[in-house]
Homo-oligomer: A and B are copies of this chain.
Amino acid sequence: MERQSGTGLLRIPDGTLPRRLARSAAAVEGGATPNAVVESWITERNLAHRHEVRRIEFGDLRQWGFDDVTGDLRHRSGRFFGVEGLEVHSDYGPVPHWSQPIINQPEIGILGILVCEIDGVLHCLMQAKSEPGNVNGVQISPTVQATKSNYTRVHGGRSVPYLDHFVDPAPERVLADVLQSEQGSWFYRKRNRNMIVEVDARDIGLEVPEDFRWLTLGQLHELLGKDDLINMDARTVLSCMPAGIEGTEADAVSDLAAAVARSSEQAAGSLHTTTEALSWITSRQTQHQVRTKPMPLNAVRGWVQSPTEIAHELGLFFTVIAVDITTNGREVSQWTQPLVRPHGMGRLALFVKRVDGVLHALLNARVEPGYLDVVELAPTVQCTPENYVLTPEADRPPFLDVVLRTRPEQVLFEARLSEEGGRFHHASSRYQIIEVPSGFPDTELEDYQWLTLNQLNELLRHSHYVNVQARSLIACLRGLR
């Protein structure tokens, strides 16, 4: 057949992108911002952004209050977020029916990282940002972290720097753009728009305000291993970075790096084909049933409200508190708000093993009441061990015991990482990537499956597949060398 006359309109993906990402990931010494400077920058930003956070009574919240009828805790404007009740029926886990407080934040925010080639190496524009719930001061955050309330300026604060690059970007400069869920035990169907947009140095200029620095992917991978330094929003956006970060087998600096590189290549193969992996996910979506129904906060059972907190009667799960924040470095200098304060230290562990030299990770199809669809893929283990002290042995999460008796040489990655400090108070969890022998018993548990990075990267281009905790660990996994 004769081809119609060409008009030159057809396009194919940028074939140079994987190599450009790999080069940035290899630049562990940094480029525009030397490593030595990063540390002093953080120290200095910590001094510039002092947060004083003081617990107060709910009655002392300004602009926030409990609804007379439902007892829901809301902002007077109806925006930001609310704490409401949720009734849950589920066939997953040991408890089939419960009600709980949950954060309802229906607006979709933007989490965006600008990237730019500087001296031939891609850099990410990162922000040192302090949030009221942080265990420490500033953490390294995406270029932009904006709720709709932020960028429509409900609170009358200053405009969000660099936001314009994400509101209506030139399509061909977008490297990633996908709605991703957040914690389904704490949020009701919350999603944020995870975006990565490339700009040219000549268009943006490389001079940046004091809160911003250009960092390579290699630097970010190193910094992910520091406790409570790369914030949750940065981790989830980094997990959505296109394939290529993992480098190539030829350039690998270690056996592990080679296994990571091969894991990201479709041609290397996998224990399950992608069609099989998708079929497994479909079978889990179909198998599990979860019915949720929003309910008034004051009708939630098993939770106790005092002037200072809403807590589970057994002290489990989390507590809703109120705080007063005074800061010298944020859009507005003083405000009050509720925060959710988790009980106990979460444990997140992703098991990996090498199969014919290709790294595979063990994902768990997990039901959480706040997911839009039924299940999302979670790390191998995701729990707060303290919540299980009253739980019979048989009902404890699978593999938790393996995590608790892991030998140090099995741990490929470990750090304490924070959840979002704008909503959660001192929510810091231990994240680990644990290598198990290739002979690790292939579980017959049908909610678990071994997937390659190639498969996970592909799933991460879409919504509804990978939960925020797994995304954090995948961001760390992709940087392992």
- Which A residues are closer than 8 A to B by beta carbons? 1-14, 106, 108, 171-172, 174-179, 193, 242, 249, 252, 254-255, 257-259, 267-276, 278-280, 282-283, 285-286, 291, 354-358, 372-373, 438, 461-464
Contact = CB atoms under 8 A, between A and B. Distances in A.
A179 B282 contact: yes
A177 B179 CA distance: 23
Contact of A171 (B178, B272, B372): B272
Contacts of A278: 177-178, 461-462
B464 A1 contact: no
Nearest to A17: B275
B357 A4 contact: yes
Nearest to A14: B273
Nearest to A13: B273
14 contacts: A1-B255, A4-B356, A4-B438, A6-B356, A9-B271, A10-B268, A12-B267, A171-B279, A176-B275, A179-B285, A275-B461, A372-B372, A373-B464, A464-B464
Copy number in the complex reads 2
B178 A271 contact: no
Contact of A280 (B14, B171, B285): B171
B280 A7 contact: no
A171 B276 contact: yes
Contact of A8 (B178, B249, B356, B464): B356
Contacts of A268: 10
A445 B437 CA distance: 54
A58 to B, nearest CB: 27
Contact of A356 (B3, B282, B373): B3
Given A171-B280, A286-B108, A269 B10 contact: yes
A7 B270 CA distance: 12
Contacts of A291: 106
A4 B252 CA distance: 14
Q: List the 4 closest pairs (A to B, CB-CB), nearest first.
A: A10-B269, A1-B258, A177-B279, A4-B357
Nearest to A462: B462
Contacts of A272: 11, 171
Contacts of A177: 275, 278-279, 282-283
Nearest to A175: B275
A357 B275 contact: no
A254 B178 CA distance: 38
Q: Which of A10, A179, A278, A463 has the most CB of B within 10 A?
A: A10
